[in-house]
Amino acid sequence: MSDKPGPKWPWILLAAVFLITAASIAFDKYKARQGPPDPLPSEVKPWFGPRNQLELEQAAQVAVDGARARLATSSDEWLRQEVLARALVRRFRATGSHADLAEADGLLDKGMAGAPFPAGPSLSRAEVSVLAHRLDAADKGLERFFAQVGEPDDGESAGAWSLKGDIAFQRGDMKAARLAFSRAEEYDNNAAVALRQSMLALRTGDPDLARRRINAVLRAPKLSRYVKSQVSLQRVTIAYATGDWKAAGTWARFADGFFPGNPLAMAHVAQQKALEGDVAGAVKQYEAVLAKAPLPEIMDALAFTLRLQGRGAESRAWADKAGALWAERYRLMPEAAAAHLVEHELALGDPAKALAVAKADAQARPHGASLILLARAQLLTGDAKGALATLERAAKTGWQTAGLYLAMADVHTALGDTDAAEDAREDALDLNPKAMDPAARYIWFGHD
């Protein structure tokens, strides 16, 4: 028997094969996690439907006029009331008019009261209640919907379960929301469910999943220009949440070009200009958008941009206009406007005024966004300990965003716990490397 060692090359070869295999598996898993790359904007194709904002508003107007005329011939019929309510919601979607939402809400109340149980516009009732942030009313609408003996079709069931998920999400029950959206997906794997799942994933710290779901919707056939432009704006939100400002700019400009005239898309482009350093251009564009569509959220964005430039008089002028509009919306639909009113007061008004509204909103909808607003109001009114408790409550729901951690950092700093503040900042930067970039303050739309 020879003591001479055998050749080493088989072992080296084996090790090389093992390493290459392991690297391939790891790379595959990584790629699978990343999902397919974003579609190119040129690959996003529309189905039929309005081609621009003007056509959308005209179509919405025609629908409202037609539904109103039909209801006039038989004003007590709940089905016609529901049809008008849906047309009004459609116009609300196009113009942002809360008066339309309030009217739709009233019509659905009438419809529910006038229909024998369990018939009636229950699903529409639930949908509008979710929009109006009236979760108990939405629950009742769904209870009535599920009480019907006739088997709903898959689309309706998916819609109902999606709404259940929305309610759970707004109540801060992320697990229940995830289960409800999965249930909806079992009935009908549609874009509406994917959008909701994307939102849920984003707010629970999984932006990759959020991006994959949005990309699927962007690639999906049979969706109108308007829908795809709005989905693109959701893609912008995901990009902001991960600090990918380049992608945000790409999709904001795509949304604006794909469906011209939409104020929200135009405002996103203005915001992007500010992020890219062209603040004067951003201000000009915001003003141009507001000349066509005087929406308070865009006024707030402009006022905040001007504040960050130190332009107090102009900022206050826009903030005052926005404040008056929010007050009117709050009068019409208090729950629907509450969070926006709080956002406005915290950024441009008086936190003391925001506190009571924020408390009520957080009590009704104890999810991360409302709780972060409440915590900010508590911090700015001198209750840093209360703010910390509120933020810890938000974290317990599974809410996981850079905005939450930055809010925590501020509260820890105010409480003198600099180590905890530093940890929170690091958590924020893990999710969003640009979370602490001073320019990030220009992000009003799609901020977390």
Partner 1 sequence: MISIPRPWIPQRATSGSVTIRALLAALVWLCLTSPVAAHLTPNSEIRLDFAPGLVKADIVVPQAEFGYATGLATDNSPDSLAKARARVLAGMAVLDVHGRPWRIAVDRIAFEQIAGPPDLHLELSLSPPPGASDRALLWRWHVVTREAPSHFALLVVDGDLAGGLAGDRELVGALTAGRSELLVNRGHASLGSLLANAFGLGAHHIAEGYDHLLFLLALLLPAPLLAARGRWGAPRPARKTFAKLAWIVTAFTIGHSTTLILAAFFGVRLPAQPVEAGIAFSVLVSAIHAARPLFPGKEPVVAGLFGLVHGLAFATLVSNFGLGTTTRVVAILGFNLGIEAVQLGVVALALPVLLMLARWRHGQRARLVLAVLTGIAALVWLTERLGLS
**Which residues 1-60 are close enough to bind partner 1 by CB under 8 A?**
none
Give the C-alpha separation, 50 to 222, whole Å: 13
Q: Is 312 in the site for partner 1 (CB under 8 A)?
A: yes
* Residue 260 lies near partner 1 (rule: CB under 8 A): no
The answer to whether residue 304 forms part of the interface with partner 1 (CB under 8 A) is yes
With CB under 8 A as the contact rule, the residue among 109, 309, 395, 429 that binds partner 1 is 309
315 near partner 1, judged by CB under 8 A: yes
Amino acid at 155: G
Quick count: other Cβ atoms within 10 Å of Cβ 250? 19
**Whole-number Å distance between alpha carbons of 413 and 185:** 43
What count of other Cβ atoms lies within 10 Å of the Cβ of residue 96? 19
Torsion over CA: 425, 428, 432, 438 (sign)? negative
Q: In which residue are the tokens 């104020």 written?
A: 263
59-78: which residues touch partner 1 (CB under 8 A)?
63, 66-67, 70
**Between residues 162 and 397, which has the closer beta carbon with respect to partner 1?**
162
The answer to the question of residue 329 lying near partner 1 (CB under 8 A) is no
**Cα 255-307-248 angle, rounded to 5 deg:** 20
* Shortest CB 129 distance to partner 1, Å: 11
User: For residues 106 and 312, which CB has a smaller minimum distance to partner 1 in the complex?
Assistant: 312
Nearer to partner 1, 14 or 72 (CB): 72
Provide the 3-class DSSP secondary structure of residue 390: helix
Rounded distance, CA 282 to CA 267, Å? 9
The reply to whether 313 sits near partner 1 by the rule CB under 8 A is yes
Cβ-based nearer residue to partner 1, 118 or 334:
118
| Binding track, positions 234-253, relative to partner 1; x by CB under 8 A | x--x----------------
Contact with partner 1 (CB under 8 A): which of 99, 179, 308, 429? 308
- Is there binding between residue 190 and partner 1 (CB under 8 A)? yes
For residues 424 and 409, the answer to whether their CB atoms sit within 8 Å is yes
The minimum distance between CB 311 and partner 1, in angstroms, equals 7
> Under rule CB under 8 A, which residues in 361-420 are in contact with partner 1?
369, 372-373, 375-376, 379-382, 384, 403, 406-407, 410, 413-416, 418
Binding test (CB under 8 A) with partner 1, winner from 233, 290, 322, 408: 233
3-state helix, strand, coil in the chain (%, to 5): 75, 0, 25
User: DSSP string spanning 84-110?
Assistant: HHHHHHHHHHHH--HHHHHHHHHHHHH
Sign of dihedral through CA atoms 438, 441, 447, 448?
positive
1/149 with CB nearer partner 1: 149
According to the binding rule CB under 8 A, does residue 164 interact with partner 1?
no
> Counting contacts by CB under 8 A, is residue 150 touching partner 1?
yes
In terms of Cβ atoms closer than 10 Å to its own Cβ (0-12, 13-18, 19+), residue 26 is exposed
Residue range at the interface with partner 1 (CB under 8 A); choices 21-29, 31-39, 134-142, 344-352: 344-352
Residue range at the interface with partner 1 (CB under 8 A); choices 7-15, 24-32, 143-151, 423-431: 143-151
Helix (H) or strand (E) holding 272: helix 263-275
Site for partner 1 contains 103 (CB under 8 A): no
Instruction: Kindly state whether residue 196 participates in binding partner 1, applying the rule CB under 8 A.
Output: yes
**Total residues in contact with partner 1, by rule CB under 8 A:** 101
Spatial CA neighbour of 390 closest among 409, 415, 410, 370: 370
211-230 residues in contact with partner 1 (CB under 8 A) are 223, 227, 230
CA 199 to chain centre: 6
Query: 199 is written with which tokens?
Result: 């939102």
